[in-house]
Amino acid sequence: MGVMTLASLTLALALQSLAPVELVETMPVETTLEHADIPDAHVVWPDMIAGARTSIDLAHFYASNQQGSRLEPVVAALEAAAARGVKVRFLAEEKFVKTYPETLERLGTTAGISVRRFDVAKAFGGVLHSKSMVVDGREAFVGSQNFDWRALEHIVELGLRVRAPQSVRAFAAIFECDWQVAGGTPLAEALAPLRALPAPVDELDGVRIETRFSPLVGIPGEPWWDLPELVERIDGASKTLQLQLLTYKMVGRDKEYFAELETALRRAAARGVAVRILVADWGKRRGIVEGLQSLEPLENIEVRFVTIPEHSSGHIPFGRVLHAKTLVTDGARLWLGTSNWERDYFHESRNASVFIDGGALPARVAALHEELWTSAYASAVDPAAKYVAPRYGER
């Protein structure tokens, strides 16, 4: 954990215990990217679970543990919570159950833990891509971290521990809706209780926190949708836009152009806003790299690939990559979400976003972006290059 000792981290967590929202990271081991002032997800998750008294609700793309990894204490903490009477529910995307069955089977056969598969394709058309946890209805976690051992030690990830009451209430309400739909309740019926709720906004300690979700068909209405808010923030930028993502892909398999976000970025650049985009080097593959190369020559837009070196143990499938999803506007307004920038993440898949104005977090994430941007891990996209995509899956 860098230079931060366990004692100093405990003190930092205690001092931040009343903060309405707290930044949480994962940085790949054997890199220089760890930050002593930002708690790690593999510490925060068990801490949240240990504090549960009545309920823990988790919604994740999939679950993939490995013995001896940083995820094992998290799984053990869930089992311990269930043993002391906490009601634990785990909602997982149907499409990945066959790929990663073991951890879900372990949880599902533990007394006090219920596991449901959510076939989001039937409900919305996409997948359950959100990654969230709600504890006792009083705090939540949301971020880029999947319930995956690699996400806690081998991937660049950013998340938020949220204690803002309206935001936590919204995460709990969306989870309950999805849990009911996964159990067979019609979507309209599951959504009905949410329609009486206003779009979640908290204003605490000079910080404004807005929580939004996708897709539009799976939420109470457009005020809850994150895509229009993202466009508004890009259009409101006057100086800088700092974006980092796993993938940025504006043309889908159906050849349909996803215009909303890219045209907003181009408008910003045209009025003089400096746009800096960091993407994972997985984006060097055909069908994605062309779009990135088309942006790089534009005035005021720069794009860089991020490459995380292999671990000393050798190739780790689907690890060693930039996976965080953030946008900082003018160094003062932050979006942190679970969506890559592709059409289906906003129009068909379950995802979540938190927008923060004020406080220290937007500037802190802006500094993280600048650190990665200027690091040895980042390299400029060459519009004329013939890239070869790295092999990132099984070998």
In the predicted model, is pLDDT for residue 196 greater than 60? yes
CA distances to 30, 49, 318 from 7, rounded to whole Å, are 22, 19, 33
In the predicted model, is pLDDT for residue 104 greater than 80? yes
The residue whose two tokens read 């800096």 is: 276
For the segment 129-137, the average pLDDT, to the nearest whole number, is 98
Q: Tokens for 255?
A: 């050849």
| Bigger pLDDT: 80 vs 10 | 80
In the predicted model, is pLDDT for residue 9 greater than 80? no
CA distances to 68, 248, 257, 349 from 342, rounded to whole Å, are 35, 6, 10, 11
| Bigger pLDDT: 255 vs 42 | 42
For the segment 118-139, the average pLDDT, to the nearest whole number, is 97
In sequence order, what are the residues at sequence separation of 6 or more whose Cβ sits closer than 8 angstroms to the Cβ of residue 2? Answer: 34, 35, 36
At 82, the amino acid letter reads A
In the predicted model, is pLDDT for residue 395 greater than 80? no
144 with 159: CB under 8 angstroms? yes
Q: Would you put residue 80 in left (φ > 0), alpha (ψ -120 to 50) or beta?
A: alpha
Q: Which helix (H) or strand (E) holds 25?
A: strand 21-26
221 with 195: CB under 8 angstroms? yes
Residue-level length of the chain = 395
For the segment 126-137, the average pLDDT, to the nearest whole number, is 98
365 with 334: CB under 8 angstroms? yes
For the segment 53-74, the average pLDDT, to the nearest whole number, is 98
pLDDT bucket at 109, cuts 50 / 70 / 90: very high
pLDDT bucket at 253, cuts 50 / 70 / 90: confident
For the chain, give the percent of residues with pLDDT over 90.
92
Mean confidence (pLDDT) of the chain: 95
> What whole-number distance in Å separates Cα of residue 364 and Cα of residue 345?
26
For the segment 114-128, the average pLDDT, to the nearest whole number, is 97
> What whole-number distance in Å separates Cα of residue 309 and Cα of residue 315?
10
> What whole-number distance in Å separates Cα of residue 175 and Cα of residue 110?
21
> What's the order of all strands across the beta sheet hosting 301-306?
201-204, 207-214, 351-357, 333-337, 326-329, 240-245, 274-280, 301-306, 378-380
Domains with residue ranges and CATH for the chain: 15-380 (3.30.870.10)
Least confidently predicted of 15-19, 127-131, 273-277, 332-336 = 15-19
In tens, the pLDDT along 307-326 reads 999 999 999 999 999 999 99
Decide: helix, strand or coil at residue 289.
Answer: helix
pLDDT recorded at residue 17: 54
The residue whose two tokens read 């946008």 is: 327
Decide: helix, strand or coil at residue 390.
Answer: coil
> What whole-number distance in Å separates Cα of residue 316 and Cα of residue 311?
7
Q: Which helix (H) or strand (E) holds 274?
A: strand 274-280
In the predicted model, is pLDDT for residue 12 greater than 50? no
Residue 272's CB is within 10 A of a number of other CB atoms, namely: 11
174 with 214: CB under 8 angstroms? no
In the predicted model, is pLDDT for residue 7 greater than 70? no
| Bigger pLDDT: 9 vs 212 | 212
In the predicted model, is pLDDT for residue 2 greater than 50? no
pLDDT recorded at residue 15: 45
Give this prediction's pTM.
Answer: 0.94
In the predicted model, is pLDDT for residue 101 greater than 80? yes
3-state secondary structure 186-219: CHHHHHHHHHHCCCCEEEECCEEEEEEEECHHHC
Decide: helix, strand or coil at residue 48.
Answer: helix
pLDDT recorded at residue 150: 98
Instruction: Give the number of C-alpha atoms closer than 13 A to the C-alpha of residue 186, restricted to the C-beta side.
Output: 3
296 with 383: CB under 8 angstroms? yes
pLDDT recorded at residue 20: 95
For the chain, give the percent of residues with pLDDT over 70.
95
pLDDT recorded at residue 254: 79
At 125, the amino acid letter reads G
Burial of 201 (0-12, 13-18, 19+ CB in 10 A): middle
pLDDT bucket at 58, cuts 50 / 70 / 90: very high
In the predicted model, is pLDDT for residue 207 greater than 50? yes
> What whole-number distance in Å separates Cα of residue 163 and Cα of residue 142?
11
Q: Which of 353, 242, 352 is nearest to 301 (CA)?
A: 242
pLDDT recorded at residue 321: 98
The residue whose two tokens read 């900082």 is: 328
The residue whose two tokens read 């869930």 is: 78
306 with 322: CB under 8 angstroms? yes
